Amino acid sequence: MKALFEPESIAVVGASNDERKIGHIVFNNLIQSKFSGELYPINPKAGEILGYKAYPSLTAVPGRVEQVVVCVPSTLVPSVMEEAGIKGVEAVIVITAGFKELGKEGAKLERQVGDIAKKYGMRVLGPNCMGIMNTHHKMNGTFTNIHPMSGSIAMASQSGAVCSSMLDWSTKSRVGFSKFISVGNKVDVDEADLLAYLKDDPDTNVIGMYLEGANRGRELMKEAFRTTQVKPIIVLKSGRTSSGSKAASSHTGALSGSDKVYDAAFQQSNVIRVNTIDELFDLLQVFANMPMPKGDGLAIVTNAGGHGVMAADACSDYGLKLASFEKSTIEKLKGYLPEAANVYNPVDVLGDATAARYDFAIKTVMEDPNVSCVAVLLAPLDTVDIKAVAEHLATFGGKVSMPVVGAFVGGTKTNKGIELLHEANVPCYDSPDKAIRALGAMVRYKKMKDASTDTTPVVINGDKDRVKEIIEAVRRTGRTSMSESEGKEILRAYGVSVPVEITAKTPEEAAQAAVKIGLPVVMKIDSPDIAHKSDVGGVMVGVSSEEAVRHGFELIMSRVRSRVPGAALNGVTICQMVKGKEVLMGMTRDEQFGPVITFGLGGVFVEIMKDVAQRIAPLTKHDVDTMVRSIRSYPILTGARGGKAADIESLKDTIFKLAQIALDFPEISELEVNPVMVGDEGKGTYAVDALVVLRREN
């Protein structure tokens, strides 16, 4: 990776004297950025390019070439790669387009590029990318003519277009980059590799990413977790909607994966996800320029009540608390501010506030022990000297003890103040909401990082041999879908409690079973061909007499026979009736991330409510704790409105067991337990139903 970011020599293959060509622009940018190492233009026809002696091929270069930037048409790229390998090049950046984004033939060509790189042990960035910049190494090896300022943001983007927008924004907002990487098709180097490098990069304080899809989901999670222990990562992941996903895959041929799974992956690795490019800009700005807050108490200083109220409202949306000031703070403010000023949070310094009044209020609230961050709001009233306020606020740039951001709300009049603050590296936004959102993201990152010290996944020892036997027996029948009783047997092998049940083949057997288990009972059709039993009239709950059980048997069998003709029916299962709150648990496998565990409120409205959360196994205690707490209906489990609290510990334990089954048996492609009955505290959790699907063998 060092050869990608800090090479001592670079050759541009396809460098040209024609100013319109990408090879010319890249070579010129390297010169313009004052790259201090050796530069070699490679072109079989040119004698000299931009004052540098041109070489007909890489092997003709007399000295060592550490990095190569490829700007020749795609069909020539494999031969250039071979030559680079022979020359002992360490890193190749393939700017050329026309690979997997074009379909089968392109994908084949791309694989060829990857294979050659592997053969020679070279790292490859791209193809189909804009190139790479390292401002601290004075290297702009891209074909954009924007040379950003040097700064502490590293930005990696899967889209060249987003790269150019970010660069243009950086000029306007006076934001500097440490590294800028256009990753393209990721035949080799991907985001996980970049994070592994950027984590230890002393020039980078915050990492921004535009991601359409990961190639190595688990590696990305691992590196992201490690990196966020040291510095924040903010990701704009597109493809949130199914149409967005489709656009993403046709864009760079990326696998966009299920978007919810990305949410889980980011959550588990402490990555902050944003949904728009504006949000990405806003957050990068604050993380790059301000110190981390120590807590979540916010102080607001404003010259307009309305903006103060809006900012206070936004606090709860973004996880901040309006700080309560100490008595001494209030007294100090009272002593200086006019009588009409509000000295409680939000501090209203009034419409005629001078810069000195703002300055006094800001410095006073910053001394309060309950304040961890400050938002300074300004409305462009005729009585306020915007420039003077901005100049005072500008003195906070680069040397504050806590994050201080501005929100100058307006347009023409406020823009000049915002620009002035950007020059001084003080984040300033055009709305209170954006300012609070930016500060909220800092607090969220800190909380996520502080809470995730427990990194050891919980391991459960189940009866693997028993599960293997069940799987083999099901395989022998040629089925991939297990019956409910087979599924429950698997759960039992891992210690999951299931209600006592007996399958009856006749009404009489059913009645005897019900007496043995204890009335009332639940009756369910037993069939490997029916996944959703209640949909076909295959379930009766609370059957409370022997007679009713006999009748129920006949009814269920006849209903299912008529609604699902041809389904194999083993009989009717008589089950112990367990009481509790209904939740659901499940597992699906994601191509990128592996077993994804779902947990949520159960019951018939689950698909409408969609009150579920996901995490990727293996799971830590922290993962399961945040997953369970994150559903909207969590208060129902803790005993809302005088209800009894559910046995949340046993519920979590069941989630770990399910995750372990998923980890131990990759041949299980899907697992659903719905409903799971969570009893009152201390009463345990029961898997009432089980659906297990095996992967098809070929």
Residue selected from 72, 272, 438, 583 as contacting ligand ACO according to rule CB under 6 A: 72
Give the E-state strand segments of 508-578 in sequence order: 521-526, 539-543, 571-576
**For ligand ACO, which is the closer residue by CB, 46 or 498?**
46
Interface with ligand ACO includes 23 (CB under 6 A)? yes
Least distance (Å) between residue 42 CB and ligand ACO: 5
The first and second tokens of residue 239, run together, are 């493809």
Q: Residue type at 112?
A: Q
Least distance (Å) between residue 378 CB and ligand ACO: 38
The first and second tokens of residue 223, run together, are 């590196």
**Integer Cα distance of 70 and 67 in angstroms:** 10
Site string for ligand ACO, 91-120 (x = CB under 6 A): ----xxxx----------------------
Closest CA to 550 of 516, 518, 517, 504: 504
Interface with ligand ACO includes 128 (CB under 6 A)? yes
Q: Cβ(279)–Cβ(417) under 8 Å?
A: no
Interface with ligand ACO includes 22 (CB under 6 A)? yes
| Cα dist from 152 to 144, 189, 231, 284, whole Å | 20, 22, 11, 10
DSSP string, 640-674: GGGPPPB-HHHHHHHHHHHHHHHHH-TTEEEEEEE
Interface with ligand ACO includes 78 (CB under 6 A)? no
The residue nearest ligand ACO at its CB is 160
CB atoms within 10 A of CB 233: 27
**Integer Cα distance of 140 and 146 in angstroms:** 9
C-alpha 541: how far from chain center? 41
* Contacts of 175 by beta carbon, 8 Å cutoff, 6+ apart: 148, 149, 151, 153, 169, 281, 284, 285, 288, 422
* Contacts of 540 by beta carbon, 8 Å cutoff, 6+ apart: 522, 523, 524, 552, 555, 556
* Contacts of 689 by beta carbon, 8 Å cutoff, 6+ apart: 484, 524, 533, 672, 673, 674, 675
Residue selected from 63, 73, 103, 666 as contacting ligand ACO according to rule CB under 6 A: 73
Q: Which residue has the tokens 């409205």?
A: 605
Interface with ligand ACO includes 10 (CB under 6 A)? no
Interface with ligand ACO includes 160 (CB under 6 A)? yes
Residue selected from 68, 117, 130, 597 as contacting ligand ACO according to rule CB under 6 A: 130
Q: Cβ(67)–Cβ(9) under 8 Å?
A: yes
Residues paired with residue 429 on neighbouring β-strands, in sequence order = 407
**For ligand ACO, which is the closer residue by CB, 61 or 677?**
61
- Describe the strand order of the beta sheet including 206-211 as a list of residue ranges: 139-140, 131-134, 176-182, 149-157, 206-211, 233-237, 272-274
Residue selected from 71, 376, 523, 636 as contacting ligand ACO according to rule CB under 6 A: 71
Least distance (Å) between residue 211 CB and ligand ACO: 15
Interface with ligand ACO includes 181 (CB under 6 A)? no
Give, in degrees to the nearest 5, the angle at Cα 389 between 387 and 393. 115
Least distance (Å) between residue 94 CB and ligand ACO: 9
Q: Cβ(343)–Cβ(330) under 8 Å?
A: yes
Interface with ligand ACO includes 366 (CB under 6 A)? no
Interface with ligand ACO includes 13 (CB under 6 A)? yes
Interface with ligand ACO includes 658 (CB under 6 A)? no
Least distance (Å) between residue 128 CB and ligand ACO: 5
- Span near ligand ACO by CB under 6 A; candidates 12-20, 287-295, 352-360, 420-428: 12-20
CA atoms within 13 A on the CB side of 61: 27
Least distance (Å) between residue 247 CB and ligand ACO: 14
Site string for ligand ACO, 609-648 (x = CB under 6 A): ----------------------------------------
**For ligand ACO, which is the closer residue by CB, 97 or 301?**
97
* Contacts of 17 by beta carbon, 8 Å cutoff, 6+ apart: 24, 46, 49, 50
Kindly state the number of chain residues that form the binding site for ligand ACO, as judged by CB under 6 A. 28
- Span near ligand ACO by CB under 6 A; candidates 15-23, 271-279, 637-645, 684-692: 15-23
- Span near ligand ACO by CB under 6 A; candidates 114-122, 124-132, 387-395, 402-410: 124-132
- Span near ligand ACO by CB under 6 A; candidates 10-18, 395-403, 576-584, 690-698: 10-18
Q: Cβ(458)–Cβ(621) under 8 Å?
A: yes
Interface with ligand ACO includes 161 (CB under 6 A)? yes
Interface with ligand ACO includes 482 (CB under 6 A)? no
Interface with ligand ACO includes 650 (CB under 6 A)? no
Interface with ligand ACO includes 144 (CB under 6 A)? no
* Contacts of 523 by beta carbon, 8 Å cutoff, 6+ apart: 510, 539, 540, 543, 549, 552, 553, 556, 572, 573, 574, 575
**For ligand ACO, which is the closer residue by CB, 69 or 117?**
69
Residue selected from 19, 44, 47, 607 as contacting ligand ACO according to rule CB under 6 A: 44
- Span near ligand ACO by CB under 6 A; candidates 42-50, 169-177, 262-270, 536-544: 42-50
Residue selected from 4, 5, 9, 16 as contacting ligand ACO according to rule CB under 6 A: 16
Interface with ligand ACO includes 162 (CB under 6 A)? no
**Integer Cα distance of 240 and 235 in angstroms:** 13
Residue selected from 25, 42, 50, 365 as contacting ligand ACO according to rule CB under 6 A: 42
Crossing angle, helix 412-423 and helix 386-394, to 10 degrees?
20
Interface with ligand ACO includes 133 (CB under 6 A)? no
The first and second tokens of residue 265, run together, are 């992956």
Interface with ligand ACO includes 129 (CB under 6 A)? yes
Least distance (Å) between residue 126 CB and ligand ACO: 8
Least distance (Å) between residue 83 CB and ligand ACO: 8
501-504/9-13 β-pairing: unpaired
Residue selected from 6, 8, 21, 240 as contacting ligand ACO according to rule CB under 6 A: 21
Residues binding ligand ACO (CB under 6 A): 13-14, 16-18, 21-23, 42-46, 71-73, 76, 80, 95-98, 128-130, 160-161, 182
